[in-house]
Structure 1
Amino acid sequence: MSGFLKGTSKKLNTTMGFFLLTVVLFCFKTYLIYKTKFSLGVKGDVQEFLLAVNIIPSALLLLGIALYFRGRLRYWLMLIIDFLQSCWLFANILYYREFSDFLSFGVIKGSGDVSNNLGKSISEIIKPTDFLAFADVVLLIILLATKVIRMDPQPFKRRFAATITVLAFALMGAEFGIANRDRSGLLTRTFDNNYIVKYLGINEYAAFSAYQTQKESATRAKASASDLNSVKRFVRQNKTAVNPTYYGRAKGRNVIIIHLESFQQFLINYKVNGREVTPNLNRFYRNQNTVSFDNFFHQVGQGKTSDAEMMLENSLFGLPQGSAMTTYGAQNTFQAAPAILGQHGYTSAAFHGDVPSFWNRDNTYKSWGYNYFFSSSYYKTKPNYSVGYGLKDKIFFRDSAKYLQMLPQPFYAKLITLTNHYPYELDKANVDFPATKTGDKTVDPYVQTAHYLDEAFGEFLTYLKQAGLYKKSLLVLYGDHYGISNNHRPAIAQLLHKDDITNYDLAQFQKVPFMVHTPGLKGGINHTYGGEIDVLPTLFDLLGINNQKTIQFGQDLLATHRRQIVAFRDGDFVTPQYTKSSGTVYNTKTGAVLDPTKKQQAQIDQDQNYVTTQLSLSDRVVQGDLLRFYQLKAFKTVDKKKYNYKYATGMDQLKTAQKQKPTSVEARHKGKPTATYRTNAPELK
C-alpha cells in the first residue's frame, strides 16, 4: 500500500500528473454541480453519458494551454485557468437560480453588469454550497502550499502538449457527433441553453454564446438608420385601409390569445370513427360572433413556436436559420404588442407551463414589454401533471385562471398550450378518443392529444363565461405550426383521404386555424389568404389602435383590399391563384401543375419579388436591430430592467396592482373568485 502511495505521489509531482489531477478534479466538481445546481432535464443513457463526459474535452483544451509554458509558470497558469472556469461556473449557478437559464455574453453585454438582471441582492441568492465551484482550486493550492505536491521544474515537451490539444479537439468532435445524432440541429436551431449545456458542456456553451454575441454585434454595428429607408417604403406601400365594419369593434376589451400548439386546420370538423376530434373548437369556429379564416397558413422556419410568437407579437418574420427569439430576443429593440398595448392602458401577461428559458422567453418577453410571465415556477407540479414539454393543458388552464382574474383590466394575455406537441403522448387515464389507423406511430396519436386540447379549451371557455370575462374580451385562437411534418407523406395521404399527395397538397396542409371572437362581432368564415405575419395588424384594427406608422410586415386580414400573398420562410408562397412549392407552380384552385402563360408568369414573378423583398427586409430589421433607429410617436422604448418574472416578485407586483388599479375580476369582487373552475382532469380527483 505504501508503495502505491509513493508511486502515486511521485506521479503527482510531475507536470503531467498535476495536470491530470487538475482535469479530474475540475470535471468531477462540474459534474456534481450539473446534478445538484441545474435542472437540465437529462433523459436516457446517451444524455446521461454526455453529461458525465462533456466537460472533459474543454478541460483538456483550456488547462492544456499551460503546458506550453515553462517551469513554475505552468502550475500558476493551470490554477488561474481553473479559477477562471470556476468563476464562470459560479456566476451561472447564481444566474440559473434566479432565471432558470444560463448566463450569456449577450446578457452581460446588454446589462453592463450581471447584477442588474438579478432580482435580489447577491447575498440573498448565494448558498454556502455554491462555493463548491472553487473547491478544487482551494484543494490544489493547499496541496502545493504544503508541498504534498511539488512543482516539477523539468521541461515539458511541446509535442506532448500538442497531442493533448489535438486529443481535446478530437473528443469535442466525437461529442458533438453523438449529441447531434440524439438532438439534430442542436446549434443551428437553438431553443434552450439547457440543451447545449447538457449535451456539450458549460464551457462549450460559453464559446457558443460568445460566438453568437460577436456575430450579432458585427451585424448590428454595420447597420445604420439609412437601412430603414427601404423598409419604411415597403411597409408604407403595402399598408391597407381599415375596414369600418370591424375597426374598433373590440376597443377597450381584454385580449385573450390561446396558442394552439401544433394544431393544423384540417382538424377542424375532422372525424375519426364518426366522432369529431374537436367538437368545442368546431362550435367556436362556427359561432355567429367568430370570424374564422380557412385559408390561414403558418409561416414558421426552424424557430417553429418561437417564430409564430415573433410574428404574432411583432409582425416580423423569424430567421432563415435558427430562432430570432433565441438569437436576438435579449438585445434587440422591439415595438411589440405588449409594449404598445401597455401604453394604451393594458396589463400584459404570458402563461406557459414550461421552464422560462425555453426559446429564451424569459429575456425576450422583457424586450417585448410583458408585465408578467407565468412560467413553470408559478404552477404546482407533480409527476403526473406534466407530459412531454410541460404542464398538461387541463391543469394549465385551471391553474392559470387564478392569475388571469388577478390581472388589472383591460389586459392582454397569451396562454401557450403544450399537450398537443410531438411526440403526442398521453397517459391512459386521459385518452378517451380513438387514434387514427394510418400505421404511422408518430401520426396516429395526434388526434388524441388534439382532442384532449379541445376538451381543455371547452373547460376554459366555460370558466371565462362564468367569471364574466367572456363578454368583456376579444378571444383569439391560432395554431402555431404544423403538427405532422412532410416526412409522413403516406400517413398524410390517408388523413386527407387521397391515394397520393403532391407538393401542392403539402403546401395546403400548412394551414392552421385563426379565429377572432367577441360579442357583437359580425362572424362568419372568411376566405382571404393570409398568415401569422398578418395577425398583429388585424388585432390592432379590431382594438382601434392606430397602426399606420408601425414597422409591421403583415396586413389586416379584415381589410377589403389587401394583397393575398402568403410567404413561406423558404421563399415559396401561396396566393388565391398560384401555389409555388419546391420550384413548381400549381393552380391553387385545382392543384394542377401550371404551365404559365407570359401574363401568368409575369404575375408569378411579381408575387415572388414581393415575397423575397418582404422576407429580406424583415430579416434586415431583426438582424440589424433597426428599430433602435425608429421612434414611434408617443411610444416609449421598453426598459428591460423594469421586468422580473420570478414567482415572489410577480406575486408582489400583482398584489400591488390590485391596490393601484383595482379593475381585475378579483378586485371588483373584493378578492373573491367569481367562478369555480371545473375540469375532469383525472390527476385532480
Structure 2
Amino acid sequence: MDKLLKRIKDINKTNAFFYIITLLALLYKTIILHSFIMNKNPYALDLYKGYSNSQPFMRFYIGFALILLSFSFIFKNYGRRLYLLLANIFITLILFLDLWYFRGFFTLPSITVITQTANLENLSGSVLSLISSYDILLIIDLIILLIVFILTLKDKKTEKRNLGAFITTFLIPFLLIAYIPFSANVLKRSVKYDYVFSNYDPTQTSQFLSPLGYHILDVYTVYKDSKPYILSKEEKSSIDEWFLKKAENNPDNNYKSLFKGKNLLIIQVESFENFAINEKVDGAEITPNINRLLKNSIYFPNIHDQVNEGNSSDSDLIINTSTFPIRKGSTFFRYPNTSYNSMPNLLEELGYSSTSLHPDKGSYWNYAAGLKGIGFDNFIDYFHYNDTETIGVGMSDGIFLPQTAEKIKSLKKPFYAHTVTLTSHGPFEIPDKYKDLKFTSELKNNILGDYFQSLHYTDKHIGEFLNSLDASGILDNTVVVITGDHRGVHKYYNDKLAQLKNPKENWLDNENQTLPLIIYSKDLNAPVKNDVIGGQVDIMPTLCYLMGVEENKYVNSVMGRNLLKTNKSFALTNNGILSNKDLTKDETDEIKKGFDISDKVIKSNYFKK
C-alpha cells in the first residue's frame, strides 16, 4: 500500500493525473450515454453505434469539457483535485438524469424540468423501472478517483493557482467553438459543422455538442424563449396560410350533429394501447367491458400517440385543443395561461358546463393552471376525493371512479366531463388480490403480463363506473369517449418484451403501436370501425362535428382534422415521422410544418381574444 501511495503521489505532483483522468472520463461517459440513447433499446448498450455517432464531433466534446475543467486551475493544492472530483460528480448526475429522462420521454430534459418538481412526489416506482444494470458504467471512474483523492489528502505539496492555464484552457476552446455560430450567423459565411448550433432536437444536439454542450445551449435557448414571443407579419401570414391549406372542404355526411345536445364524457385511460382491445390470453379477455362497448360505438383503432415531454398532460392538451404540445418542456408548465379555441370553450357556447376530474393533485404537471387555460369551468382534483387506497403512482381506479360517478351525476346538464385513470401507469404493479387474470404462460413473469393485469383491473372499474351512470339514467343521453393518454408498455419496456420466448406478433413493438378511440352511445345500433390513420390531434374536430359545433367555429384553429369527413389517412408522430397513405410530397411538407406552427401559436398566445 505504501508503494502504491508513493506512486500515486509521484504521478499526482502537478494534479495532472486527476485532470487527465477526469477529462478522459467525461469523454468516455458521453460515449456511454450515446450508446444507450442511440440504440433502439435504450436499456441496452450499443458501443459501436455510440462511438461511431460521437467520433465526428469529438472536437466539440473535448472543447466543452476543457472549458468546464479550466476552472480547476483557479484552485490550489488539493482544492484543484476537489473541484475536478465535484465537477465529475455533477456531470455524472446530469448524465443519469439525461438517460432516465430519455427512457421515459425519448428526448433529453430541458432546464425547464426544474419547474416540474411537483411531479416527483409520486413517481419513485416509475423512476426505478427506468434504471438498467448497465448504468453502473457511468460511475466506475468516480470510484477510482474518489479512492485516489482520499489517499492523496495528506499530500503536503504546495501548488499555486495557475491563472495562465485557466485562461488558456478556457479561452482557446471557447473561441474554437464560438467561431462556428459567429461565422454562420453574424458573418454569414459558410463554415463546416454550422448545422450543429441550429438543430433544435435535444438528442441530436447532444450528439453534436456533447450533453454538456446541449445543456449550455438549452439554458440560453430557454432564456431567449422566456421573453414575450411577438409574431412578425410574415409569421402571422404563414400561420393563417397553413390553416387554410389544411382544410379539405369535403361535403357533410350523416355524422354531422349526430349527438347534438347530448352530454359528453371523455375517459382518458392511462397507457391504453389499441392492441389490448379484443385481446385474449388463456381464454380470458383483457378488456371485456370496453370490448362490449364496441357494439354501440364508432371505433378508430389507428390513433397515433402525439404527446411530447408533458406526457399525460400533453394528452389533456391535445385532445381538448387539437394543438401539438411545445417541442421543449411541458406546455402546462411553460405556458399555462395560453388561450385556445378549445372544445370546452366551443361547447360552452352551446350551453354546456365543463369539468375536468383528476385523481392527481393540481400541482402535478401544473394541471390546475393548464386546464383552466384550456377553458374548463371547473377542475376537481385529488383534494376533492377520499383517498383510501394507493396503487402505483396514485389513487386507485377502484377508489377514484366510483366517487367520480357521483360527482358527474350532480353536474349541470348538458355537461362536458373529462376524466383520467391512473392504475395502469407503468411499471404496472398492482396487488396480487386484484390480479384476476390467471396466466399459465411466461406472461406470469413478464411485464407484459403485469400490463395486462393492470388494464384488466382498470377495465373492470370502468365497467362498474358506466353501470353506475347507466343506473341513474345518465347514459341515456351521454356520449362516452374512451381513449389512451399515450402508449404504455411499448413506449417504456421494449427491453422486457424482448425477453418473451413465444410472443404473439402484436405483442411486440412494430414501431406502429396505436391508441384506441372509442365513441360510444347507447342508441348507436350500427357499430362502425373506421381504419383511417389519425392522431390525438384529430380527436377534438371529430367530436365537435358529432356534437353539433359548426365547423366554421373551429376549422381554422385546429391542427387536426375531422376523421369522419376526410379523404386523407395520416398522423404526424412526435418523433417527426409521418405515418400515411398516398400523400403527395407537397402535402407531406405542409403537414410536417405543424410542430413549428403549433409552437408559435402557443408561445405567442395566438388565439387570445
Q: Over residues 129-165 of structure 1, what are the superposed CA-to-partner deviations in whole Å (9 max), with x where a residue is unaligned?
A: xxxxxxxxxxxxxxxxxxxxxxxxxxxx9999x9999
| Equivalent-residue separation in structure 1 for 2:121 and 2:307 (angstroms) | 26
Of the three residues 236, 239, 249, the one matched with 1:231 is 239
2:520 corresponds to 1:517:
yes
For 1:536, the equivalent position in structure 2 comes to 540
Q: Match of 2:489, SS?
A: coil
| Equivalent-residue separation in structure 2 for 1:297 and 1:321 (angstroms) | 20
State the Cα distance separating 1:282 from its structure 2 match.
Answer: 0.8
Q: Match of 2:481, SS?
A: strand
Q: Match of 1:425, SS?
A: coil
State the Cα distance separating 1:365 from its structure 2 match.
Answer: 1.1
2:577 corresponds to 1:572:
yes
2:598 corresponds to 1:618:
yes
State the Cα distance separating 1:562 from its structure 2 match.
Answer: 2.9
For 2:137, the equivalent position in structure 1 comes to none
Change (3 A) 1:311 1:195: closer
For 2:279, the equivalent position in structure 1 comes to 270
For 1:582, the equivalent position in structure 2 comes to none
Q: Over residues 41-70 of structure 1, what are the superposed CA-to-partner deviations in whole Å (9 max), with x where a residue is unaligned?
A: xxxxxxxxxxxxxxxxxxxxxxxxxxxxxx
Of the three residues 400, 404, 407, the one matched with 2:408 is 404
Q: Match of 1:418, SS?
A: coil
Letter paired with 1:371: D
State the Cα distance separating 1:439 from its structure 2 match.
Answer: 7.8
Of the three residues 460, 471, 482, the one matched with 1:455 is 460
Q: Match of 2:442, SS?
A: coil
For 1:258, the equivalent position in structure 2 comes to 267
Equivalent residues of 1:565, 1:607 under 8 A apart: no
For 1:192, the equivalent position in structure 2 comes to 116
Letter paired with 1:355: K
Q: Match of 2:354, SS?
A: strand
State the Cα distance separating 1:251 from its structure 2 match.
Answer: 1.0
Q: Match of 2:518, SS?
A: strand
State the Cα distance separating 1:490 from its structure 2 match.
Answer: 7.1
Of the three residues 377, 383, 387, the one matched with 2:383 is 377
State the Cα distance separating 1:527 from its structure 2 match.
Answer: 1.7
Change (3 A) 1:210 1:379: farther
Q: Match of 1:627, SS?
A: coil
The alignment's TM-score, normalised by the length of structure 1, stands at 0.57
Pairs aligned (count): 429
Equivalent residues of 1:388, 1:419 under 8 A apart: yes
| Equivalent-residue separation in structure 2 for 1:410 and 1:376 (angstroms) | 24
State the Cα distance separating 1:264 from its structure 2 match.
Answer: 0.6
State the Cα distance separating 1:434 from its structure 2 match.
Answer: 3.0
| Equivalent-residue separation in structure 1 for 2:304 and 2:410 (angstroms) | 34
Equivalent residues of 1:280, 1:458 under 8 A apart: yes
Letter paired with 1:333: S
The alignment's TM-score, normalised by the length of structure 2, stands at 0.63
For 2:346, the equivalent position in structure 1 comes to 340
Task: Tell me how large the CA RMSD over aligned residues is.
Answer: 3.5
2:451 corresponds to 1:446:
yes
| Equivalent-residue separation in structure 2 for 1:165 and 1:357 (angstroms) | 37
| Equivalent-residue separation in structure 2 for 1:557 and 1:499 (angstroms) | 25
| Equivalent-residue separation in structure 2 for 1:216 and 1:167 (angstroms) | 33
Change (3 A) 1:210 1:367: farther
Equivalent residues of 1:312, 1:532 under 8 A apart: yes
State the Cα distance separating 1:168 from its structure 2 match.
Answer: 8.4
Equivalent residues of 1:571, 1:611 under 8 A apart: no
| Equivalent-residue separation in structure 2 for 1:340 and 1:417 (angstroms) | 25
Q: Match of 2:607, SS?
A: helix
Q: Match of 2:523, SS?
A: coil
Q: Match of 1:361, SS?
A: helix
For 1:40, the equivalent position in structure 2 comes to none
For 2:183, the equivalent position in structure 1 comes to none
Equivalent residues of 1:564, 1:575 under 8 A apart: yes
Equivalent residues of 2:354, 2:415 under 8 A apart: yes
2:486 corresponds to 1:562:
no
State the Cα distance separating 1:239 from its structure 2 match.
Answer: 2.5
Change (3 A) 1:217 1:301: closer
Of the three residues 480, 485, 495, the one matched with 1:480 is 485
Percent identical among aligned pairs is 25
Equivalent residues of 1:438, 1:495 under 8 A apart: no
2:415 corresponds to 1:491:
no
Return 245-254 or 488-497, whichever deviates more.
488-497
Q: Can you give the 5+ residue segments of structure 2 that lack an aligned partner in the other structure?
A: 1-73, 103-107, 124-215
Equivalent residues of 1:193, 1:357 under 8 A apart: no
For 1:308, the equivalent position in structure 2 comes to 315
Equivalent residues of 1:349, 1:374 under 8 A apart: yes
Of the three residues 582, 598, 608, the one matched with 2:588 is 608
Q: Over residues 333-375 of structure 1, what are the superposed CA-to-partner deviations in whole Å (9 max), with x where a residue is unaligned?
A: 2222222222321111111111211211111011112122111
Letter paired with 1:448: Q
| Equivalent-residue separation in structure 2 for 1:499 and 1:226 (angstroms) | 46
Counterparts of 1:424-435 in structure 2, within 5 Å, are 424-435=428-439
Equivalent residues of 1:258, 1:416 under 8 A apart: yes
2:332 corresponds to 1:325:
yes
Q: Match of 1:221, SS?
A: coil
Counterparts of 1:662-673 in structure 2, within 5 Å, are none
Equivalent residues of 1:320, 1:569 under 8 A apart: no
| Equivalent-residue separation in structure 1 for 2:245 and 2:546 (angstroms) | 21
Change (3 A) 1:498 1:544: closer
2:393 corresponds to 1:389:
yes
Change (3 A) 1:524 1:304: same
Change (3 A) 1:196 1:470: closer
Return 189-198 or 619-628, whichever deviates more.
189-198
Q: Can you give the 5+ residue segments of structure 1 that lack an aligned partner in the other structure?
A: 1-156, 200-206, 578-602, 632-685
State the Cα distance separating 1:445 from its structure 2 match.
Answer: 0.5
Equivalent residues of 1:212, 1:327 under 8 A apart: no
| Equivalent-residue separation in structure 2 for 1:477 and 1:243 (angstroms) | 25
Q: Over residues 314-351 of structure 1, what are the superposed CA-to-partner deviations in whole Å (9 max), with x where a residue is unaligned?
A: 101123343222221x2322222222222321111111
| Equivalent-residue separation in structure 1 for 2:120 and 2:496 (angstroms) | 34
State the Cα distance separating 1:499 from its structure 2 match.
Answer: 11
State the Cα distance separating 1:530 from its structure 2 match.
Answer: 1.2
Equivalent residues of 1:338, 1:368 under 8 A apart: yes
